[in-house]
Amino acid sequence: MEKLSKLSGNPAMAGQSAAKPEREGSETIMGVPQHSIATVGSGIVRTWEQSQTHQNPEVGGSNPPPATSMQKSWFKYIIGWGIVVLVRLMPGRPPNVEPIMTVLVPFSKRYGWLWAFVFGFFSMAIYDFITLKVGIWTWVTAGVYGGVGVLAYFYFKNRSATAGNFVAFSIIGTLIFDALTMLIGPIFTTQLLAEAIIGQIPFSVYHLLSNIVFAFAVSPLIYRWVAEGEALPVFDKKISV
């Protein structure tokens, strides 16, 4: 009893005996229980992961990571490519009414600039190879459409995937494509520039009108299909402008 009373009367010994159960239950780092540090650390990591995985592609114009997007939905990418080529092969289709821009623009936001370039380039090149109409125009039109895809990616980098934005870029992209490809004749043949401009006007009018309609009615549905996994087409969903 005397020994116990001496121990209890010694503050240092009393503190050690009081701290003993805590040391037995958990280790400490600079006086902080290790399990508390682990809890705080896991909470920080969990919060960061949630901020990364719960980003809505349509909020704030943020783009999902292109590599991850491609790994998870490459099959939809191939389907979109196939549809574009098949529609362009339809007999009797006007040459300036085609769905490349309609699919390319939402794909550029979802898959990134590289896959947007690949989509635009080979959508043009594959058609010319299938129809046996390969020439200098093949590489010019394919390169320009690939470049339009890259431009679309940067246009949508900080913009949301709305019908209004799809229409706006379709106008920009169509005018750029038509203006650059119009120069094929004057540069590589004996066609006069004035003649090329006059012949381009009606072509561009139909090209613009068709791309505007498709961009408003179809492009938002395609983006929802590849970005959110909705069924295509989704005619019962409201399209934001």
- Domain ranges for the chain, please list them: 2-53, 66-228
Which DSSP category does 61 fall into?
A: T
Lowest mean pLDDT of 45-59, 107-121, 191-205, name the range: 45-59
Q: Which two tokens stand for residue 34?
A: 């290790």
Q: What tens digit of pLDDT does each residue of 212-223 get?
A: 999 999 999 999
CA–CA gap between residue 137 and residue 129 (Å, rounded): 12
Q: What tens digit of pLDDT does each residue of 167-205 get?
A: 999 999 999 999 999 999 999 999 999 999 999 999 999
State residue 2's pLDDT score: 45
Contacts of 107 by beta carbon, 8 Å cutoff, 6+ apart: 77, 80, 115, 116, 119, 149, 222, 226
Residue 231 pLDDT > 70, yes or no? no
Question: How much is the average pLDDT of 94-108?
Answer: 92
Q: What tens digit of pLDDT does each residue of 32-46 get?
A: 455 554 554 555 445
Residue 66 burial (CB count, 10 A): 18
Could you tell me the pLDDT band of residue 94, with boundaries at 50, 70 and 90? confident
Residue 156 pLDDT > 80, yes or no? yes
Q: Which two tokens stand for residue 75?
A: 């099959």
| Architecture of the domain whose range is 66-228 | Orthogonal Bundle (1.10)
Is the pTM higher than 0.95? The answer reads no
Q: How far is CA 87 from CA 13, 24, 162, in A?
A: 87, 73, 24
Query: What mean pLDDT value characterizes the chain?
Result: 77
